[in-house]
Structure formats: structure tokens, C-alpha cells
Amino acid sequence: MDSMRGHEGIQMLLTAEQEAQQIVTAARNLKTTRLRQAKEEAEKDAGHYRSNLESEYQKRVGETSGNSGFTAERLEEETDVKIQNLKKSAFKVQSDTVGMLIKYTTAAKY
């Protein structure tokens, strides 16, 4: 009887070990599945984020390159206005400058 009890005890331990092994295997499989899902979800989120950044970048590039012609025209107009102002200022002082140059070049120093 003792040998039968010992045999039953061993059999019970083997059965418990197999059940524990099945539980551990199921837990590993579940963990692997969850990790795979988390990785896929993270890649999906990263892809969305990357595409949003890319579209925002393209939008800004489009805005700045579209305005470059307008900016060039505006700068050219501002430059023309400044040139005209300088010409007017030069014309106003032209006679005084010429007179001063003639005075100093013809005056004799002793």
C-alpha cells in the first residue's frame, strides 16, 4: 500500500507539473501576443505621427516657396523706393556740394 501511495503521489506531482507547464506556456504565449500587439500599435502611432509631421513640413514649405515670388517683388519695390529717396536727397544737396568742391579746389592756401 505504501508503494501505491508513493506511486499515486508521484503521479499527482507529474500531473501538477504538466498543468503548471501548460499554465506557464499559455502565459508566455499571451505575453508574446500582447507584446506583438503593442509593437504593432506603437509602429502605427509612430507612422501617424511621422506622416503628420511630414504633411505639416510640406505645408510650411509650400507656404514659404509660394511666397518667395511675392517677397522678391515686395523687396524690389522697397528697394526702388529707397533708391528714389536717395536720388531726391542727392539732388537737394547737389548744388551745395558742387559749390563747396569748387570753393575748396580754387581757394589758395598760404
At 20 the pLDDT is 95
How much is the pTM? 0.45
* C-alpha cell, 85: 529717396
Distance CA(26)–CA(19), nearest Å, equals 10
Structure confidence at residue 61 (pLDDT): 81
To the nearest 10°, report the CA torsion of 12, 16, 21, 26: 130
| pLDDT the model gives residue 77 | 92
- What average pLDDT values come out for the chain (110 residues) when binned by 10 residues? 74 94 96 95 94 91 70 88 93 88 79
Grid coordinates given for 42: 506603437
DSSP state of 1: -
